[in-house]
């Protein structure tokens, strides 16, 4: 069984790492917060003093970090993955970062004989806990096949979408659709609620038709309960859409609605809602309509 190093034990990384430990994989871990390390050590992981130390004896190194600068620092920086990883090992970066950053990191690793897959995920904290994430993989086919079993411990849908850069491109497509979907649901439910229709009834009536979506199924029950505890924070969605807009500029692809929903997210951040779940996008439309979508 492959030896794994896991670096990045946040809201998503912690349950993903724990699922791999439960599946029997030998696990070395590194995180900056000692209390985080204690949790996974209790599950059977071996704590290390740096990313380099964690990577030293690993066949597969998994990173789950906030954005491109953090991944580049952890992988390529002092005491980073590249200092410890041996030639022939594979880095699976499961962070959601800019496609251009993935290509830079993969090129640098390749110079030292370390292979790379990018494998950003969708499904939020609930999917990470349940091991039901959707995983979009970019990289070499042979490397994907070698790591597919590991990825399937963490996800119910594991699809190789192309070479390095393709995985994060598909993730950006996903994030555009999710943000705009939640916005559309918020706008529509604000209208229906203001008109006097029970929002729970609206949900029941339309969820099985063409307007139905996983985003609506996931978010409306929480909004009805006024539950905005973060499964995926607005701040992180802002980060993803910033990467999408930059990629659009790089490729000369107009993204007018992405630009618009980015302004909505930034307005929510100004209202100190950046740490709320992205389902709180709906509150923007509630405030405009002076209505509350709730039971």
- Whole domain around residue 229: which residue ranges? 169-289
Q: How far apart are CA 232 and CA 279, in angstroms?
A: 9
Is the pLDDT reported for residue 36 higher than 90? no
Q: How far apart are CA 82 and CA 74, in angstroms?
A: 9
pLDDT of residue 267: 98
Asked about 171 being catalytic, the answer comes back as: yes
Q: Are residues 186 and 245 in the same domain?
A: yes
**pLDDT (tens digit per residue) in 81-138:** 999 999 999 999 999 999 999 999 999 999 999 999 999 999 989 999 999 999 999 9
pLDDT of residue 205: 98
Burial class (CB in 10 A: 0-12, 13-18, 19+), 108: middle
Mark which of 124, 141, 162 sits at the end of a domain.
162
Q: Are residues 96 and 179 in the same domain?
A: no
CATH number at residue 22: 3.40.50.720
Number of domain units in the chain: 2
Q: Are residues 149 and 8 in the same domain?
A: yes
Mark which of 107, 142, 162 sits at the end of a domain.
162
Residue 295 covered by a domain:
no
For the chain, counts of helices (H) and of strands (E): 14, 9
Q: Are residues 40 and 87 in the same domain?
A: yes
**pLDDT (tens digit per residue) in 204-244:** 999 999 999 999 999 999 999 999 999 899 999 999 999 99
Measured distance between the N- and C-terminal CA atoms of the chain, rounded to whole angstroms: 49
Cα atoms found within 13 Å of the Cα of residue 27, Cβ hemisphere only? 26
Residue 294 covered by a domain:
no
pLDDT of residue 61: 98
State what percent of residues in the chain have pLDDT above 70. 100
Q: How confident is the model at residue 22 (pLDDT cuts 50, 70, 90)?
A: very high
Mark which of 134, 162, 190 sits at the end of a domain.
162
Q: Are residues 157 and 41 in the same domain?
A: yes
Query: What mean pLDDT is predicted for residues 253-269?
Result: 98
Q: Are residues 125 and 14 in the same domain?
A: yes
Q: How confident is the model at residue 172 (pLDDT cuts 50, 70, 90)?
A: very high
Write the CA distances from 54 to 47, 287, 293, integer angstroms: 8, 48, 47
Q: Which of 27-36, 73-82, 90-99, 131-140 has the lowest mean pLDDT?
A: 27-36
pLDDT of residue 34: 82
CATH number at residue 218: 1.10.1040.10
* Catalytic-labelled residue, pool 48, 56, 171, 273: 171
Q: Are residues 158 and 173 in the same domain?
A: no
Triad 3, 120, 78: Cα angle to 5°:
60
Q: How confident is the model at residue 79 (pLDDT cuts 50, 70, 90)?
A: very high
Triad 266, 220, 172: Cα angle to 5°:
45
Query: What mean pLDDT is predicted for residues 176-200?
Result: 98
**Among all chains, which residue has been given the structure tokens 């980073």?**
80
Query: What mean pLDDT is predicted for residues 15-19?
Result: 97
């Amino acid at each position: 069984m492959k030896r794994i190093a896991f670096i990045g034990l946040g809201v998503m990384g912690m349950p993903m790492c724990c699922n791999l430990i439960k599946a029997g994989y030998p696990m070395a871990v590194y995180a900056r917060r000692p209390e985080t390390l204690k949790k996974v050590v209790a599950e059977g992981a071996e704590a290390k003093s740096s990313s380099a130390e964690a990577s030293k004896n690993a066949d597969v190194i998994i990173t789950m970090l906030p954005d491109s600068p953090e991944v580049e620092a952890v992988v390529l920086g002092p005491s980073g993955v590249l200092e410890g990883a041996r030639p022939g090992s594979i880095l699976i970066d499961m962070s959601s970062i800019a496609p251009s950053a993935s290509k830079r990191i993969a090129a640098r690793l390749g110079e030292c004989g370390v292979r790379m897959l990018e494998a950003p995920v969708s499904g939020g904290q609930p999917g990470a806990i349940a091991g039901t994430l959707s995983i979009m993989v970019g990289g070499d086919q042979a490397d994907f096949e070698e790591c597919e079993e590991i990825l399937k411990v963490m996800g119910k849908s594991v699809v190789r979408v192309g070479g390095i850069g393709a995985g994060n491109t598909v993730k950006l497509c996903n994030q555009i659709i999710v943000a705009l979907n939640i916005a559309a649901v918020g706008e529509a439910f604000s209208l229906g609620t203001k008109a006097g229709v029970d929002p729970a009834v609206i949900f029941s009536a339309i969820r099985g038709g063409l307007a139905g979506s996983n985003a609506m199924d996931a978010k409306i029950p929480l909004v009805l309960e006024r539950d905005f505890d973060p499964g995926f924070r607005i701040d992180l969605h802002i980060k993803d859409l910033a990467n999408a807009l930059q990629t659009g500029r790089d490729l000369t692809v107009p993204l007018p609605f992405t630009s618009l929903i980015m302004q909505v997210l930034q307005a929510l951040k100004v209202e100190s809602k950046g740490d709320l779940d992205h389902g709180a996008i709906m509150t923007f439309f509630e405030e405009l309509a002076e209505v509350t979508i709730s039971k």
